[in-house]
Amino acid sequence: MTAYDPDNIFTKIIEGEIPCHKVYEDNETLAFMDIMPQSQGHTLVIPKSGSRNLLDADPAVLADLIQKTRTVAAAVMKATGADGFRIMQFNEAPAGQTVFHLHFHIIPIYEGVPLKPHAGEAADHTALGALAAKIRGAF
């Protein structure tokens, strides 16, 4: 597998070089709105330490990340009132990975509402900001 390359957009978000609609942050983890959401409330959870995907991640980082993902998912569910959610995680480009820094997708599911395509259409930034604030308020 190709080695982790720290020159990726999520590293820039962690380092504050580019903005994000943040919903959660601690020493190990950052969660923010996906700018091309597949559904209302689509959120990404990433470790601050770098790995390309699931296979090169430190097991201790992974163990922490899945617990943080659960915490964030609970807040996303509370804030959106979704009927369910999917956790997605892609490994390598043929599997759909487009950003090569490990991340879990939290994708709320609304009964009868089809998901939008993966990494498809950019959402309105004002709406994303309002949603992020609502999720922050749901922890």
Number of residues that bind ligand AMP (CB under 6 A): 12
Positions 40 through 69 that interact with ligand AMP (CB under 6 A): 44
Q: Cβ atoms within 10 A of the Cβ of 137, count?
A: 11
Tell me how far apart the alpha carbons of residues 50 and 115 are, in angstroms, rounded to a whole number.
29
Residue 34 binds to ligand AMP (criterion: CB under 6 A): yes
CB of 59 to ligand AMP, least distance (A): 21
DSSP type of residue 19: -
Confirm or reject binding of residue 99 to ligand AMP (CB under 6 A). Answer: yes
Segment lying near ligand AMP (by CB under 6 A), choices 68-76, 78-86, 90-98, 109-117:
90-98
What is the SS3 assignment for 57? coil
- Asked if 74 is part of the footprint of ligand AMP (rule: CB under 6 A), the reply reads no
Marked catalytic residue, from 21, 101, 103, 105: 103
Reduced to 3 states (helix: H, G, I; strand: E, B; else coil), residue 14 is: helix
How far is the C-alpha of 130 from the C-alpha of 26, rounded, in Å? 21
